[in-house]
Amino acid sequence: MQNENNVPNKMSGGKYMGTVKVGPKGQIIIPKEARDIFNIKPGDTLLLLADAAQGIAVQTFDSYDEFFKQIFQAKESPTIPEE
């Protein structure tokens, strides 16, 4: 399968490459093939990571949810190093 720019979309091994256009409100549509690979459903929360030098990455939020919980728990009850 190819997109409108004749770039192949679906790759082997659960990988995907394609192009998306930014709409007038700054929105993008995640192609169905990519949503299927990552089991992204309507209403899911995604995490957007951006770095001026490295670009933009979009991750499913649940992959970081446990990490964030641990950070906030550590902040609420910090451990005091023994001397």
Task: Quote the pTM value.
Answer: 0.62
Higher local confidence (pLDDT), 10 or 33: 33
Assess whether 2 and 39 both reside in one domain: yes
Assess whether 8 and 33 both reside in one domain: yes
Q: What is the Cα–Cα distance from 34 to 45, expressed in whole angstroms?
A: 15
Residue type, 17: M
Q: How many domains does the chain have?
A: 2
Mean pLDDT of 51-67: 85
Residue 66 belongs to domain spanning: 45-78
- Asked if residue 80 has pLDDT above 80, the reply is no
Q: What is the Cα–Cα distance from 37 to 28, expressed in whole angstroms?
A: 17
Phi, psi of 2 (to 5 degrees): -130, 155
Q: What is the Cα–Cα distance from 47 to 82, expressed in whole angstroms?
A: 36
Q: What is the Cα–Cα distance from 83 to 61, expressed in whole angstroms?
A: 38
